[in-house]
Chains A and B, each alone.
Chain A
């Protein structure tokens, strides 16, 4: 019987503690799941990050082993599409012990938070990471408001 508020309080306290513990367990689970190979088995997509810095967006994607000829980037308004092919680089005449990297074709599309200026967009490929600098359109840029 819960006759006093303090008993109820204690019960909820214990439940909160349990919930925190559970959250932490799943946090650990995600941790290992997230760190697995990104672009590996057939049908998997490259992992991407999106950063926003005032007047531009920066998109980064993990594309190990893909040359720039095998990558395509399309932009229209706030629509971004990254597609590509990872060619098989297995050497001839070798016995295969393990293949985790695989070769595949992927296509991933995004809706960016704002329209970007496709003309001024820049793309760079360095150490297996694709860097996209996407300046926002004039209308989407932040405006400084002067206080009167």
Chain B
């Protein structure tokens, strides 16, 4: 009996915590051509002010927080407040100064232009 009580007690020792923000991985598309790399990420419900894009030492990290105003009793829920986060390795040849981002309809679109030096160049062959 004593042991049972101990087990029950241990369960009660779990401290109550506030609901932490769940993390989610946004779905992305990545495209590349000679001039730039494009990255599209689905982040529905995130507003512009709550998104951060960081490029540091060859790592691009995206993060965005989505917060809904909840009212009423929830009958069913399949999505909720989340923190989107995902990191990518990007080549050092990206021109960080010229990176552009825009957000429309819950899709974040990043343009990562390659620096001039990294663009492919046509080498002219000189006839001897």
A residues apposed to B, CB below 8 Å: 6, 9-10, 13-14, 17, 20, 31, 34-40, 47-54, 57-58, 60, 62-67, 89-91, 93-101, 113, 125, 127-129
Write the nearest CB–CB distance from A63 to chain B, whole angstroms: 7
Question: DSSP class of B's interface residues: helix, strand, loop or mixed?
Answer: mixed
Count chain B residues whose beta carbon lies closer than 8 angstroms to a beta carbon of A. 43
Q: Which one of A36, A125, A128 has the highest number of Cβ atoms from chain B below 10 Å of its Cβ?
A: A128
Q: A89 — nearest CB in chain B belongs to which residue?
A: B40
With beta carbons under 8 angstroms apart, the residue of B1, B22, B68 that contacts A60 is B68
Is B16 an interface residue when CB atoms closer than 8 A count as contact? no
**A125–B73 CA distance with the chains assembled, in angstroms:** 22
Indicate with 1 or 0, residue by residue over B43-58, a CB within 8 angstroms of chain A CB atoms. 1111100000000000
Bound CA–CA A37/B29 (angstroms): 12
Q: Assuming A90-B31, A101-B42, is B105 touching A51 (CB within 8 A)?
A: no
Given the known interface contacts A65-B107, A67-B105, the answer about A97 and B32 at a Cβ–Cβ threshold of 8 Å is yes
Say which residue of B7, B31, B73 sits within 8 Å of A97 (CB atoms): B31
Q: Please, how many angstroms separate the alpha-carbon atoms of A9 and B26 in the complex?
A: 48
Contact A58 B27 (CB under 8 A): no
The closest CB in chain A to the CB of B109 belongs to A89
Chain A neighbourhood of B68, CB < 8 A = 60
User: Chain A's nearest CB lies how many Å from the CB of B120?
Assistant: 12
Q: Do A95 and B7 touch across chains, with their CB atoms under 8 A apart?
A: no
The residues of A that contact B76 with a CB separation of less than 8 Å are: 48-50
Instruction: Give A50 to B80 CA distance when docked, in angstroms.
Output: 11
**A142–B26 CA distance with the chains assembled, in angstroms:** 40
Question: Which residues of chain B come closer than 8 Å to A13, judged between CB atoms?
Answer: 3-4, 7-8
Q: Which residues of A contact B62 (CB under 8 A)?
A: none
B11 interfacial contact with A, CB 8 Å: yes
A25: min CB distance to chain B, Å: 15
List, in ascending order, chain A residues with CB within 8 A of B4's CB.
Answer: 6, 9-10, 13
